[in-house]
Chain A
């Protein structure tokens, strides 16, 4: 002990620096960040977060100051008394009553403060929580049915008025800005969790149950979401994007998506369509307007218009698409997409066709 430095101070500084980093703006930006809200719900949660953060940080600093002061005080007191004291010196069995009274007051005070803080937290949490569940505007809501499955997201745009308008897509959800959108969530296999941090907290998809959630984006942008409940081998690669667009742009997207697939224009794309229909592709995928109508894999009617493939794993570019079609297991081991041995010409034709599905 005699050689002891003052070891706790740098630690505190380091902790402080790290704490400061959390609050730094640089740490907040992100396309999947709870602290970069793009909608009213995420914003409310963020406000609640900062309330908790600053109060908790203050409590933490107080506790650390108390601890370090006790250590520092002990040092000072030791210097005042003899240096000969060692660990074997007599314990204090009857501490001075006035010290004990003072300590008791401090402990009681600290506990009372804890209770008050917790009560404030409880009320703030309750108020925020209530606001998360009821959208301000309930009229004419768009309902999107999202089905999480190992390991991608099937997305259906429902339309109670006109069944013709219902269509299916995958892993990319477009929503109009400043409009609450209802999500009907379900999972046929295992538990998944639907989560777009920039917009709202998560909701678990429990097999055998249907869960509802609403979201609203108040600025256009692309927000990444990801499955947040461990769901097996490729849990890591089960992402999706929410694209928030101004209402008129969204309406255009909706109209386009409702249409059946375009007939291939080029000769190569036509050959690609033949390849698709003769290869195992047709066993699992749907392309509306063709005889491919299976619901096992993602609907590919407008696959060319999406920004990613394989549930947010790869950008939707020709090279990646080729890789994915030929050998999905090397990209996403365990996924349900089988390898396809196609001749180079067939593969190129197929890519032409898929990319033409805008």
Chain B
């Protein structure tokens, strides 16, 4: 038998196996799923889907789209713009600190700038960009057409955008918050931060909260309920696991900062006394509540990046990631432990010593799951056939930087060491190693890896290498000396320092490194702008990568897949073959997706998603009408609540057009061709 014949026989056997698997499942039989072999008219189906799902052009279409890829692209671009703004702020700070008693920024402006830098990077860049990439890729990776609640997704983006604009407009009006991204009371309280600066911060938190929580629910529900048939929990890609777990962390972590900022806002606005020691309030209460969110926040940012790393490692080591189960369990352990160590941000406060040892233990313990993951990746690299493309370079950079950051993290968990280096540049170095090394390097790797999917063209490999080396060297030049600065006593958040402290040289070195780091980011921007026009056309799967996102066109069509795929293994593309069954029978004249069961992803029912809608924007505007003027008067909330109710009434009452709005087309679209020999869907009432 020739090789081709053997292959053909194997395929046929596989198809038969899939068929019997389906036929034997009583649940599926009861739900009227039929395995079959059909002639499919792909071109016709594609046309029908195109008509139903296309986002359209023009301003109205832009404002009303509910396509997850449109919205995610906005998330990613907006967050990247905020990254650049935060980067400019960082560069200005490095300029100010380049030499002692420098006069580039005065204390008032410097304090605003460092607060803006932290706030921007944490709330407007890191969380949204990770969620944005997740919301783009997760539906593709699990083989569905859109997220579970497309209109809510659009609403989340607008809330985020308004929050970011609100913060930056205030900043440019010289009302930028200046109490730090953590806004500790009493400094941020009514007594010591008069004016509206801190109120701006507190309300911005509310907006980005809403967006993050909405995004988290989208991801969790989409992954739980819309995975392609065959993608059992055991086959969920590591990337998707990281997104789900970090979404759960958002769900349980963000309410804390919601409370902290609400308490703060009400202390400032309506004279409550949560944090006022004179009336029984407590300044440390704020720190507890804030860090109960604040520490998980780090993992919320960093877990999705681990998903990037796993995806890139598998593709460029040309093998499965070593230790799938260990990886998933480590992620879950990280998420759990992440909630149990917030007090290590408060070791210097007058808390009982005994309690602190508990948090030392918990903080050190989290190094174990992180270590397991690093070891598993290294094992994968060792056992694979490496292809040193730019995405993998960024992953190797990640391993180096993140390992160092993790080790300094272990140092910070020890109370005696923390007492010396807490709130010094040592900590600044530590968390930049963890967050830039742990999240931004994988993020840039992810840009290079998924750019072909996002825009259909490859980024330049040569520029990518420049990008990587400039960023890697620049990063270490900026942040490595900061370890030493911290040990030599330089506190954080100082707008200047005296010459006799002897911190000048290392600061100058760090500032010079910032030039390289900036150059690296500039190379990336140039690469992106160049590649959009002139980059090599990518094709569906330029890396021959394993994820389902590569099983469709680049960039993906609005409906993602002509036929929803079925999944035969963790590495769907690698472990699939041409005869794997596809899903047919979903309606193509409305936005229908397949809902599957949580654990085994067996088909459950068909589910119509809403089409374009203006209501998400209107509800977001109503939200903004409540929170933005809410810094001046509590009555704004009453007005905003009424507006929000009216908008939500419209949202609920308007018939969700599950398709493109008929009003936009000159005449009703012709009935979509039914997939042969699909019978018409039965009336809704029979469904139950």
Contact = CB atoms under 8 A, between A and B. Distances in A.
Contact of A45 (B179, B416, B476, B490): B416
Interface string B519-547: 00000000000000000000000011010
A339 interface: no
B386 A74 contact: yes
Contacts of B277: 207-209
B572 to A, nearest CB: 12
Interface stretch (B19-27, B396-404, B602-610): B396-404
Given A21-B484, A93-B571, A118-B364, A7 B495 contact: no
Nearest to A206: B283
A92 B385 contact: yes
Contact of A121 (B348, B364, B374): B364
Interface string A102-145: 01101100110011001001101110111011000000000000
Given A91-B318, A118-B365, A126-B357, A233 B414 contact: no
A288 B419 CA distance: 37
A103 B368 contact: no
Contacts of A25: none
Nearest to A57: B407
Chain B contact residues, majority secondary structure: helix
Contacts of A70: 378, 381-382, 386
B8 to A, nearest CB: 18
Interface string A221-241: 000101111111111100100
Contacts of A197: 420, 489
A8 B544 CA distance: 26
A106 B375 contact: yes
A262 interface: no
Interface in A224-260: 224, 226-236, 239
Contacts, number: 294
A129 B357 contact: yes
B501 interface: yes
A66 B378 contact: yes
B108 A48 contact: no
Nearest to A24: B484
Bin chain B's interface residue count. Answer: 35 or more
B72 to A, nearest CB: 26
Contacts of A201: 348, 416, 418-420, 422
Contact of A235 (B278, B360, B493, B500): B493
A60 B404 contact: yes
Interface in B561-602: 571, 574-575
A217 interface: no
Interface residues of A, number: 106
Contacts of A42: 420
A103 to B, nearest CB: 4
Contacts of B408: 56
B371 interface: yes
B611 to A, nearest CB: 38
A104 B379 CA distance: 8
B55 interface: no
B493 A230 contact: yes
Interface in B413-464: 413-424
Given A14-B476, A87-B544, A333 B489 contact: no
Interface string A311-333: 01100000000000000000001
B664 to A, nearest CB: 42
B83 interface: no
Nearest to A35: B487
B417 A45 contact: yes
Interface stretch (B250-258, B262-270, B320-328, B618-626): B320-328
B473 interface: yes
Interface in B469-504: 469, 472-473, 476, 480-481, 483-484, 487-498, 500-502
B6 interface: no
B195 interface: no
A67 B381 contact: yes
A120 to B, nearest CB: 10
A204 interface: yes
B252 to A, nearest CB: 26
B414 A48 contact: yes
Given A45-B416, A107-B379, A110-B371, A74 B350 contact: no
Contacts of A212: 350
Contacts of B28: none
Interface string A7-30: 110010011001001100001001
Nearest to A77: B385
Interface stretch (B149-157, B180-188, B642-650): B180-188
A320 to B, nearest CB: 12
Contacts of B629: none
Contacts of B420: 34, 42, 45, 49, 197, 201-202
A129 B357 CA distance: 9
A36 to B, nearest CB: 9
Given A34-B421, A128-B416, A193-B348, A71 B493 contact: no
B361 interface: yes
A1 B387 contact: yes
Contacts of A226: 489, 491
Contact of B488 (A33, A44, A99, A228): A33
A125 B415 contact: yes
B323 to A, nearest CB: 6
Interface string B279-310: 00011100000000000000000000000000
Interface of A: 1, 4, 7-8, 11, 14-15, 18, 21-22, 27, 30-35, 42, 44-45, 48-49, 52-53, 56, 59-60, 63-64, 66-67, 69-71, 73-75, 77-78, 85-93, 95, 99-100, 103-104, 106-107, 110-111, 114-115, 118, 121-122, 124-126, 128-130, 132-133, 150, 189-191, 193, 195, 197, 200-204, 206-212, 224, 226-236, 239, 312-313, 333-334
